[in-house]
Structure 1
């Protein structure tokens, strides 16, 4: 008996080593916490392999009670028996996957035992199925609200499983075989099942502890990133967010993109994943296009065109605002082995939090910018210089041309009315914006006859939507700042045309003096307070464009001695109910 105990202890060691390796795999741990049909099927397959290994590595006992220890049992005379770790595996399967997993694993174990035993001892099929199902039911009852039964219950259930097996063996083989194998098999199978469940619980407990630590870090990380996401998704906010994430996590690189370009990349690979450049990797492009999370476990799956890119594993998730993908959050490792289920859970949580923060930031920013635009419109209404100049012009016209004076008064009224109405909307139609601009230019032309010429070159529908005051800001900026003291031949052209199925572009061009090089780098990027600058209007517009449509709509500026060109592209949307 002692010799058999030592031999079975060796077999138990083999099973425990395999179990330890199994529990260390990310895939297996992912099957444990939620019992679904899919996870039960996978657990059945995995434990069925283990139960076959337990049969093959058993200790053969001849009819004369002689112990034989082949490396692997490939065949068994009908008169011989096997002492093995089969009940350990069936019990562990039942406690891990439930009664149906236990039943199926018991069926596989019993069938395999009967097949290579020369189709004798059919009772092993019945006993294995019965034990697997019964232990699964009892295990579910005694675990209460926990994931698995407590250790004392595992001992009781494992002992009971072996006891049932011994009763079957006694009934079909008599007391002699039971006396030889009872103590070694009951003792070691019970110990083995307890060890397996303890390994399982320890790993799951460690993961929960790590998640608790991660939760604390995520909360702190969230608190630090919120101020930047509230400013919108841009180069500056993205850089700060990536730096914060990198400092709080173990990722080798962290990146953020919008739908077109890299906004920031911190860590390994930053020499070719460059902010402002188009998105490089096929993985990121796929995530942005489909709006679905993607994992990659090799450089090939990442799809970076740079051959010596050090990034070997990645998790890329979409950032979504109002059901629309606005960018991608990217996490990279230089070694595939570093990526575990904990990292995947962490980044899923971060993506949800950041999407929420971004939505809040975009909403706040648009409200703020819209309020600024409305305030600007109201300021125009009560601007003493504009108002008195217009009134003086109308007064002068009253003495020489009453009809023109009446027309000027109507244009002034139309301008104030549209300022108030348009200031309350984020987007208005091209037709509404043109009316507002025409009213403004009519007043300016009456003040300065023959000084300005406004030309429209429009090849799109008047029902397309664009930000309120968009064209007005371009025109007003040109009128106030482009021409200096030039009295005649001052031309402003507004070209609006479709560039593809999804976008149209606005090109505002003047033939003025150009923008001073010292001011140019600030135009649209920050408020300019100099008397000869462009004020806050272009900055406000640039921020609204990027907040509404992304960095692709950022203002592009070209200037020279022959004038200045402002350009932006805007998604092609139409007023609801209007014909395209």
Structure 2
């Protein structure tokens, strides 16, 4: 038994080596992260089936409870059994990818073991299928939030699966149960221990590697936030030579790629890094790769020098990612990340490039919106809130950065909410009316960011009547009322602060009401709100006035803005506007 234990350790070591290689291959990581798609499941089934077949070939031949020296086991003689790590491969496939993949691997591995031969080998097919499906079901039960079971949990599943296999061997692998029992007594202990240990190590390697990648992503997200904050002032100028040169320098500093290039729709605006001797600003776009991206508007990744299409024979650039930049769904230029060593272009860089393309497109769009807003009157700029509040933006970035180490999932969620908030500001600057559903999404993004900064400071309860979100409202109508309540209603009070948002239709009107349990409004100010600026320590007091004026300009006497103190504590702000469906008006300015 000791000799069998040692030989089995060698086989488990081979499987663990293969596991280590696989989890360090970017392609395999992609499959693991997208393991719920049928295409990924099919590929994972093939990979783990190869593991299981290798286990069959490299098994230890046993006859009459004696180890028979052998090499690659292709055809087995009668009355011969093998000890192997097939159950380890099947069990891990189920734990990692679910019962479908586990069952597929079980079918293939069991069929291959049957083809290898020896008496009574048919039972390996149903036993392998059962092991695959059962391990997948247990693994799915123990999986939380898309993660994998812990190594300890996986080891217990591995031990159970090997025990199931031993039961089949005892019942079916011989002329009698006694013969099967004799074989199991010889192989069971080392196979259960080592296959369980192998499962533990496999999952340890897998989870540790993915955790390290998650940590790297968290650090990268933090860097991206800093990069976005650094480039925002320049992209707000628009996409031109001055802004592009500054931005290229900043991006190259944060990403450490070999070169960064920015173009508009026809010429190079900036090139910083390797190849700057011939990728010269003010020249026409010189690479075929960039021209193709400008033409089709799709991100392009190449890993070979000839695919870049640079006409200079001494160009040091060997790989590139070219990201199209869009404004209002129209391509306006490209961001190019170049590498002098093609091996530096990894999956992480690809994800980074896609994220930067989205952020920079939003920033350029923001810049164009601000340029347009400067052509409007001061009151219109304030009422539409065309410009993103820099103080709010940097507070949000600092909040998200602080969450990187503590809760990376929440940080990523808030980053998406910040993107939603950006998009809402851009759309609000170009539209006079938007669907209520869009306004509520903007409010949700705003509240998520504010409540992350001040957890448990206040609560906002929504009561939205069914089937009204397709009606239109002025941009920021709900947000301004909620923001005003949060800033002014509760004073310095840090608890028991509640706001209640109620939106419903009444006859042919849409009623938007925001109430609070705050301190109430002094009577001398109550008459001023919505009619003239009311200054305070926390603002200029123009937001409510501008909202009221905008309502009057849009709807005339059909709209109203009312403020009153509640009979108990707090105050209630109410907007009344006519019911207008989104498809019934042209919402663009």
Normalising by structure 1, we get a TM-score of 0.62
What CA distance in whole angstroms lies between the structure 2 residues aligned with 1:371 and 1:235?
29
* 1:178-189 matches, cutoff 5 A: 178-189=184-195
* 1:415-494 matches, cutoff 5 A: none
What CA distance in whole angstroms lies between the structure 2 residues aligned with 1:254 and 1:247?
10
Q: State the shift of 1:282 in Å.
A: 2.2
Aligned position for 1:170: 170
Q: State the shift of 1:120 in Å.
A: 4.8
What CA distance in whole angstroms lies between the structure 2 residues aligned with 1:341 and 1:186?
37
Q: State the shift of 1:118 in Å.
A: 5.5
Aligned position for 1:348: 354
* 1:154-303 matches, cutoff 5 A: 154-173=154-173, 174-303=180-309
CA contact (8 A) 2:257 2:339 kept: yes
Aligned position for 1:363: 369
What CA distance in whole angstroms lies between the structure 1 residues aligned with 2:80 and 2:288?
60
Aligned position for 1:123: 123
* Higher alpha-carbon deviation: 3-12 or 110-119: 110-119
**Shift in CA distance, 289/101, structure 1 to aligned 2, threshold 3 Å:** same
What CA distance in whole angstroms lies between the structure 1 residues aligned with 2:238 and 2:69?
70
What CA distance in whole angstroms lies between the structure 1 residues aligned with 2:194 and 2:243?
60
Q: State the shift of 1:33 in Å.
A: 2.1
What CA distance in whole angstroms lies between the structure 1 residues aligned with 2:17 and 2:340?
29
Q: Is structure 2 residue 52 aligned with structure 1 residue 51?
A: yes
Aligned position for 2:530: none
Which of these two proteins has the greater Rg computed from alpha carbons? 1
**Shift in CA distance, 74/305, structure 1 to aligned 2, threshold 3 Å:** farther
CA contact (8 A) 2:120 2:172 kept: no
Q: State the shift of 1:370 in Å.
A: 7.6
Aligned to 2:82, the other structure's residue is in SS state strand
Aligned position for 2:62: 61
Aligned position for 1:330: 336
Aligned position for 1:42: 43
Q: State the shift of 1:366 in Å.
A: 3.4
Aligned position for 2:467: none
Number of residue pairs the alignment of both structures matches: 372
**What RMSD over aligned residues (CA atoms) do the two structures have, in Å?**
1.8
What CA distance in whole angstroms lies between the structure 1 residues aligned with 2:227 and 2:108?
49
CA contact (8 A) 2:303 2:320 kept: yes
Q: State the shift of 1:144 in Å.
A: 3.1
Q: State the shift of 1:68 in Å.
A: 3.1
Deviations 1:400-455 (A, max 9, x none): xxxxxxxxxxxxxxxxxxxxxxxxx9xxxxxxxxxxxxxxxxxxxxxxxxxxxxxx
Structure 2: gaps spanning 5 or more residues:
174-179, 379-429, 431-589
Q: State the shift of 1:307 in Å.
A: 2.6
What CA distance in whole angstroms lies between the structure 2 residues aligned with 1:120 and 1:297?
52
CA contact (8 A) 1:33 1:147 kept: no
Aligned to 2:33, the other structure's residue is in SS state coil
Aligned to 2:74, the other structure's residue is in SS state coil
What CA distance in whole angstroms lies between the structure 2 residues aligned with 1:93 and 1:48?
9
Q: State the shift of 1:69 in Å.
A: 4.3
* 1:376-415 matches, cutoff 5 A: none
What CA distance in whole angstroms lies between the structure 2 residues aligned with 1:101 and 1:300?
40
Aligned position for 2:80: 80
Aligned position for 1:499: none
Aligned to 1:264, the other structure's residue is in SS state strand
What CA distance in whole angstroms lies between the structure 1 residues aligned with 2:261 and 2:344?
18
* Higher alpha-carbon deviation: 209-218 or 311-320: 311-320
* 1:90-169 matches, cutoff 5 A: 90-117=90-117, 120-169=120-169
Aligned to 2:31, the other structure's residue is in SS state coil
CA contact (8 A) 2:323 2:336 kept: yes
What CA distance in whole angstroms lies between the structure 2 residues aligned with 1:256 and 1:18?
42
What CA distance in whole angstroms lies between the structure 2 residues aligned with 1:199 and 1:153?
14
What CA distance in whole angstroms lies between the structure 2 residues aligned with 1:325 and 1:191?
54
